[in-house]
Amino acid sequence: MKAVTQILFCLLAVATTVASTAASANPDDTFWSDNFGRLGTGGRTHTVEAIEMHGDDFYVTGSFNSTTDQRAGSIARWDGSSWHGLTESCNGTVNTLFFEGNDIYAGGGFSEIDGVAAGGIARWDGSSWSALGGGVVGSVNSILRHDGDLYVGGIFSTAGGITSPSIARWDGSSWSAVGNGIESVFFFDGVHALASDGTDLVVAGQFQTIDALPMGNIARWDGSAWSTMGDGLTLAGQSGIVSDLAIYGGQLHAGGSFTDSGATSLNRIARWDGSGWVDVGGGVTFTSSPTLALVRDLKVHDGKLYAAGRFSHASGGATPAGLVAWWNGTTWAGYTGPNIDFMDVRQVGFEGGDIHVAGSFRDVNNVVASHVARWDGVDWNALSNVVADGIDGDVLAVASDATGNVYVGGGFDTAGDLQLRSLARWDGTVWQDVGGGINAVAGQRADVSAIEVTNNDVYVAGDFSDAGGVPAENIARWDGANWNALGGGLTHSFQNTVVFAMEEQGGTIYAGGKFTDAGGAPAANIAMWDGSTWSALGSGMDDIVFSVVAHGGDIYAGGDFSSAGGVPADHVARWDGA
């Protein structure tokens, strides 16, 4: 019988505190290269949430810690030629900006900005940040001046210590509640947009009732009481979300994920006619995946209403409009070129005759653009003339070969100025493609979690279905000229497969991860490839394997398992080959 021997050991944890006061790189750090910066907004960028014009500049906010060449704590300003950070640090995401005179109000999910304690909202006076009282406990999504006071909406429980769910009012010195606030049923219920129709405050987001009245994600506040707006805006009569509001042609327009208002069918955009919600030229849709359609942003510019989000067509599907569309009061038009990668635009902005878009994308029509891009009417452009050598996403694996090449794998789309999906090779000077890279099924991202270099071969593993056009189930071999599948690969019978680790010993590749089959035969989370056939290592592990290493002729595995081969094994085990 094949045996698995359990290893029992103790880990000694040593806590070490390292203090650092340097604001820039230590001059003694001569062995680190500074070539690997980011293009556009960067650092550990998750996304850009908002883009707003103010004067001759425009501002972007989101979750990032740098621009191309300087620090920027989640807020940055573009002056037409270069980026400038408005903050040195911010410990959370900035969702929105509100401009008033020389002041800028920032709202989001943060508790500190440039060292100033500020719960979800702060004010920039041109030289420093200040808090608005005790701020909110939660996050702010929208800020608006209405009837002399500053209103904030978001997902929060209190403002200045006063109970005021998801909406509150700041009078310049203290916070107060707005009625009884927004009733929250689900975790993400709250306010996403505010607008003023000249008389009342309109509040929209994700909520079903206020003061026990059915609202359907949108309501009106007259200064003393809440009232409904028709039958609201819902998705299939139930949930949905209203993401943004805009006044166009003197009338209120709303965008979101909704499909109806009572018996009226809508496509993600609607107009309030004074008594109910009506269709706007057929709205927008995502023809290949209708349920994913979403309008995130509405803006009025040059006599048109612009919509941005996740959609492919306007006019009920008749007009191609890739992610950005505009309504002139009569008909829809839109961007008709290749879609922005990952199909998610958060906001649209304008500068002269150009359109700027911001979101969670990393390239546009094969142009490297880290979350912010500009359409000049002919081509897409990145907002920087600086090309950095870094990776635009997560790096999960690194390995080198005997000639000095470094292979980098992960979940990314570009390396330097090249589109290199999930796998790239650095020769010491430039990034290079590796046989067409690693790909997943349409609409999903491929990840490379492990790389093993042996002799002239490079093995990669992770979560993918294709290597350079060759079908390969989550593991593949690059021989220097071509990609090769390893038999039927590694798969899971009912969950997503991920291979997290590989190790070579004696010409055999050992792989660990989350899978149930190797080459079509049962193999529980660990298996070996002898060059032609997959084999299980006994009955394997009862849960995920994250690491595999060869030592002294044996194979050691670590992970989130409690047994190996039926033998109790707390997270680590040894395979002796017999």
Show the 3-state SS of 275-324.
CCEEECCCCEECCCCHHHCEEEEEEEECCEEEEEEECCEEHHHCEECCCE
> What are the Cα distances from residue 218, in Å, to 193, 276, 489?
9, 12, 50
Q: What is the pLDDT of residues 340-362, one digit of tens each?
A: 544 578 888 877 778 888 776 66
Residues 570 and 578: their CA atoms lie apart, in Å, by 21
Look at residue 88 in the predicted model and tell me its pLDDT: 79
Residues 500 and 477: their CA atoms lie apart, in Å, by 16
pLDDT at residue 259 tops 50: yes
Q: Are 369 and 361 in contact (CB under 8 A)?
A: yes
Beta-sheet strand order (sheet of 47-54): 47-54, 57-63, 75-78, 83-85
Indicate the DSSP class of residue 30. T
pLDDT at residue 277 tops 50: yes
Look at residue 68 in the predicted model and tell me its pLDDT: 54
Q: Are 281 and 327 in contact (CB under 8 A)?
A: yes
Residues 202 and 219: their CA atoms lie apart, in Å, by 6
Q: What is the pLDDT of residues 425-447, one digit of tens each?
A: 988 888 899 999 998 865 467 89
Cα dihedral 290, 291, 296, 298 sign? positive
Look at residue 123 in the predicted model and tell me its pLDDT: 97
Q: Are 302 and 323 in contact (CB under 8 A)?
A: no
Average pLDDT score over the chain? 85
Q: Are 269 and 253 in contact (CB under 8 A)?
A: yes
CB atoms within 10 A of CB 498: 20
pLDDT at residue 218 tops 80: yes
- Among 445, 473, 479, 444, smallest CA distance to 461 is for 473
pLDDT at residue 323 tops 90: no
pLDDT at residue 389 tops 70: no
- Percent of the chain that is helix, strand, coil (3-state, to 5): 0, 50, 50
Look at residue 390 in the predicted model and tell me its pLDDT: 65
Look at residue 71 in the predicted model and tell me its pLDDT: 65
Tell me the three state secondary structure of residue 576.
coil
Q: What is the pLDDT of residues 302-317, one digit of tens each?
A: 999 999 999 999 999 9
Mean pLDDT, residues 551-555: 90
Look at residue 556 in the predicted model and tell me its pLDDT: 96
> What are the Cα distances from residue 189, in Å, to 30, 405, 503?
50, 50, 47
pLDDT at residue 222 tops 70: yes
Residues 376 and 534: their CA atoms lie apart, in Å, by 53
Dig out the tokens for 521 from the structure. 């035969």
Look at residue 525 in the predicted model and tell me its pLDDT: 97
| Domains of the chain by residue range | 233-352, 393-575
Look at residue 383 in the predicted model and tell me its pLDDT: 65
Q: What is the pLDDT of residues 1-29, one digit of tens each?
A: 333 333 333 322 323 332 333 333 343 44
Tell me the three state secondary structure of residue 1.
coil
pLDDT at residue 31 tops 70: no
CB atoms within 10 A of CB 360: 18
Q: pTM of the full predicted structure?
A: 0.67
Residues 190 and 167: their CA atoms lie apart, in Å, by 8
10 Å CB burial of residue 504 (0-12, 13-18, 19+) is middle
Indicate the DSSP class of residue 435. T
* Domain boundaries 393-575, CATH class: mainly beta
Residues 552 and 570: their CA atoms lie apart, in Å, by 21
Mean pLDDT, residues 113-126: 94
